[in-house]
A and B are shown apart, each in its own frame.
Chain A
Amino acid sequence: MNIATFHDTGYAIAPQPPTPLLTIENVTKIYPTSKGPNVVLDGVNLTVSAGEFICVIGHSGCGKSTLLNMVSGFNQPTSGEVRLKGQLIKKPGPDRMVVFQNYSLLPWLTVYENVYLAVDAVHPAYDELKKKDIVMHHLAMVGLVEAIEKKPPQVSGGMRQRVAIARALAVRPELLILDEPFGALDAITKEELQEELLKIWWEQKCTVMMITHDIDEALFLCDRLVLMTNGPAAKIGEVIKIPFEHPRDRDHILEDPQYYDLRNYILDYLFGRMSHEE
């Protein structure tokens, strides 16, 4: 009963008509330094609809993390606004759960306790059974039921990132934010996790905003790919719609000629027109 109501609430099955979930309006970020103001972002505009999977790609130092930090609320724009469902974002909160690159799990808590802490903090009023159900459901979703009593240092990097994803999803965020989540993983684990993430996103219809520097990863995962121009004073250069049908199959996509056109286009964008003049 508890599980049923829990799964039925909150998410529209089809993301149409697209309602803006997240709006980034004219966002500028300037850090004052001793050598004068350092403009990191200059006039960024982006609208994300509910249920979308968005990837942001760009050279390192192009301000993509700064942009993400303003969406998660760790950082405030110098000018412009970031709104979630019309509400101005002022500080971090569980409606915008973040999966960090370095997992950010608490090493003294077990895998189960790490996820439970999040559920318990966000839904203190739920009864114990319901909280336990939510935790176990999300750990099962990422295939970690066997490891619930283990502590993060005892499991592999891929498993740790699975825990972090389970923890983020367990509180049912409006927006799931991933900051280069698979950057530290080996190639095989990375592909496995990409497929799992895509499957979870497809089944749960959550909204995802993810930073990556991996073009193949972005092409496999996202609906729209945001290309950032180089910093300083970075902005959104282009937003590319990725046409592959969901549910996606990696082999299928790799056979699609469009894949290589898109890949070359993006490569050219990042390393041709946008390459560093050094």
Chain B
Amino acid sequence: MAVSYRNGKNNSNPLLKFWQERRGDILPPLVGVLLFLAVWQLIVAIGLIRLPGPYQIWEDQRARNLILYPFYDRGGLDKGLALQTFASLTRVAMGYGLAAVVGIALGILVGLQPLANKMLDPIFQFLRMVAPLAWVPIALVALQQNQPAAIFVIFITSVWPILINTAEGVRQIPQDYINVRRVLRLSTRRFFTKILFPSALPYIFTGLRIAIGLAWLAIIAAEIVMSGIVGIGFFIWDAYQQNYVSEIIVAVFYIGSVGLLLDRGMALLQRWIVPEK
């Protein structure tokens, strides 16, 4: 081990070089995952929980098909998990996009107008406490259809952190920049583009990042309640009804992975867009 390390300095193989530089970042998570799987298998083996272990899932024909063929499509609801996930993500994109537009716009209004803030803040704080699942029946009654109702649930769940953080970002614009606006008598358009947005952007992105996680949580919950739609949430419910426990675990693995990717994607976007201090 020590020998290869010393030799590594002269080694020009880029793959090896990458490994030597990054193995501190790669090895611990890998070991962690393997340990987790081992503990899980152990708990199942000694009969502590009545779930299949990792090995049983791989042995299960239906679950293995789901893992190996994520893009199969036999029509109707019988689709691979990648396609199910994609359908859910499409709903998230629509609801979340709407939440971003409405949240940022309302956040700016509330941040700039103390009176609007006083009027609306109690309502926001009240509505924000309503759990996503509680919105599902209301959305279904109000909108009558699964698809718009699902999008509404995403929207209403993810809009609050965006709104509250945007408003805070607007309120936190340093007085210096406000003074620049006043001395130069900047037009509202210039104030927004040159001062308000750049100044509030870190806050807005914090809101957007919290919201994407919430949106993904909400869509699963919403789809489980809405029957008969393509989506990973309803897939889980359907598998549960038919007692395909291994399928559920594979689907949960998809949900977690997508959530992780969404969060990392937002973090990356945040680092890319928000100007560093």
> A121 and B198 in contact (CB under 8 A), knowing A104-B177, A106-B177?
no
Nearest to A118 among chain B residues (CB) is B184
Contacts of B187 in A (CB 8 A): 121
Across the A-B interface, give the 3 residue pairs with the lowest CB-CB distance, nearest first.
A104-B176, A108-B198, A92-B182
Q: Is B179 an interface residue (CB 8 A)?
A: yes
Rounded to whole Å, the gap between the CB of B186 and the closest CB of chain A is 5
Q: How far is the CA of A100 from the CA of B175 in the complex (A)?
A: 11
Rounded to whole Å, the gap between the CB of B115 and the closest CB of chain A is 21
State the interface size on chain A (CB cutoff 8 A): 24
Task: Please tell me which one of the listed residues A74, A94, A100, A107 contacts residue B184 in the complex, with CB atoms under 8 A apart.
Answer: A94
Q: How far is the CA of A72 from the CA of B194 in the complex (A)?
A: 22
Task: Please tell me which one of the listed residues A93, A102, A108, A109 contacts residue B183 in the complex, with CB atoms under 8 A apart.
Answer: A93
Q: How far is the CA of A160 from the CA of B183 in the complex (A)?
A: 18
Contact (Cβ within 8 A) A98 B183: yes
Which residues of A72-111 are within 8 A (CB) of B? Answer: 72-74, 91-94, 96-98, 100, 102-104, 106-109
**A107-B277, A121-B185 are known contacts; what are 13 more A-B pairs with Cβ within 8 Å?**
A93-B183, A93-B185, A94-B184, A98-B179, A106-B180, A117-B184, A117-B186, A117-B190, A117-B194, A118-B184, A122-B184, A122-B185, A153-B277
Contacts of A96 in B (CB 8 A): 183
Rounded to whole Å, the gap between the CB of B124 and the closest CB of chain A is 29
Q: How far is the CA of A93 from the CA of B183 in the complex (A)?
A: 5
Q: How far is the CA of A118 from the CA of B177 in the complex (A)?
A: 13
Q: Is the interface of B mostly helix, strand, loop or mixed?
A: helix
> A91 and B182 in contact (CB under 8 A), knowing A104-B176, A104-B177?
yes
Which A residues lie at the B interface, using CB under 8 A?
Answer: 72-74, 91-94, 96-98, 100, 102-104, 106-109, 117-118, 121-122, 153, 171
Task: Please tell me which one of the listed residues A93, A100, A117, A122 contacts residue B176 in the complex, with CB atoms under 8 A apart.
Answer: A100
State the interface size on chain B (CB cutoff 8 A): 16
Contacts of B106 in A (CB 8 A): none
Q: Is B275 an interface residue (CB 8 A)?
A: yes
Contact (Cβ within 8 A) A92 B190: no
Q: Is B195 an interface residue (CB 8 A)?
A: yes
Task: Please tell me which one of the listed residues B176, B177, B183, B195 contacts residue A94 in the complex, with CB atoms under 8 A apart.
Answer: B183
Contacts of A100 in B (CB 8 A): 176, 179
Contact (Cβ within 8 A) A74 B182: yes
> A107 and B275 in contact (CB under 8 A), knowing A92-B179, A100-B179?
yes
Contact (Cβ within 8 A) A72 B198: no
Nearest to B184 among chain A residues (CB) is A121
Q: List 21 A-B contacts (CB under 8 A).
A: A72-B183, A73-B182, A91-B182, A92-B185, A93-B183, A94-B184, A94-B185, A98-B179, A98-B183, A100-B176, A103-B176, A104-B179, A104-B180, A106-B195, A109-B194, A117-B190, A121-B185, A121-B186, A121-B187, A122-B184, A122-B185
